Amino acid sequence: MKHKPIDEQVIVVFGAASGIGRATALAALERGAAVVAAGRDREALDALAAEGPAGKVLVCTADAADEHEVAAVAEAAVAAHGRIDTWAHVAGVAAYGRFEDLAPDELRRVVEVDLLGPMWGARAALPHLRASGGAYVVVSSEVAKRSFPLTSPYSAAKHGVNGFVEALRVELEHDDTGVTVTQIMPEAVATPFFDHARSRLGVRPAGPPPVTSAEAVADKILHAAEHGGRDVPVGAGARAQLALQRVSPRVMDGFSRLAAFRLQRSDEPKAVGDDALFEAPSGDARTEGPAARSATG
| Residue 296 reports pLDDT greater than 70 | no
Condensed to tens digits (0 to 9), the pLDDT of residues 109-137 reads: 999 999 999 999 999 999 999 999 999 99
The three-state secondary structure class of 36 is strand
**In the chain, what are the domains?**
6-269 (3.40.50.720)
Residue 206 contacts residue 259 (beta carbons within 8 Å): no
CB atoms within 10 A of CB 208: 21
Q: What's the pLDDT band for 54 if we cut at 50, 70, 90?
A: confident
Residue type, 3: H
Average pLDDT over residues 244-265: 93
Counting residues of the chain whose pLDDT is more than 90, the rounded percentage is: 95
| Residue 82 reports pLDDT greater than 50 | yes
User: Sign (positive/negative) of CA torsion 141, 285, 221, 180?
Assistant: positive
Q: Helix crossing, 152-174 with 104-111: angle to 10°?
A: 30
Which residues are paired to 125 by β-bridges? Answer: none
Using a 10 angstrom Cβ sphere, with 0-12 exposed, 13-18 middle and 19 or more buried, the burial of residue 258 is exposed
What is the rounded distance in angstroms from the CA atom of residue 84 to the CA atom of residue 12? 7
Instruction: Compute, in degrees rounded to 10, the torsion defined by CA atoms 232, 236, 241, 243.
Output: 70
CB atoms within 10 A of CB 205: 29
Element (H, E) at 247: helix 236-247
CB atoms within 10 A of CB 271: 9
**pLDDT on residue 294:** 60
Q: What's the pLDDT band for 291 if we cut at 50, 70, 90?
A: confident
Residues 6+ apart with CB under 8 A from 190: 207, 211, 212, 213, 214, 288, 289, 290, 291, 292
| Residue 293 reports pLDDT greater than 80 | no
**pLDDT on residue 2:** 86
**pLDDT on residue 227:** 97
Q: Which residues are catalytic?
A: 154
For 146-196, the DSSP string reads S--TT-HHHHHHHHHHHHHHHHHHHHHHHTT---EEEEEEES-B-STHHHH
**pLDDT on residue 55:** 80
**pLDDT on residue 297:** 42
What is the rounded distance in angstroms from the CA atom of residue 287 to the CA atom of residue 21? 8
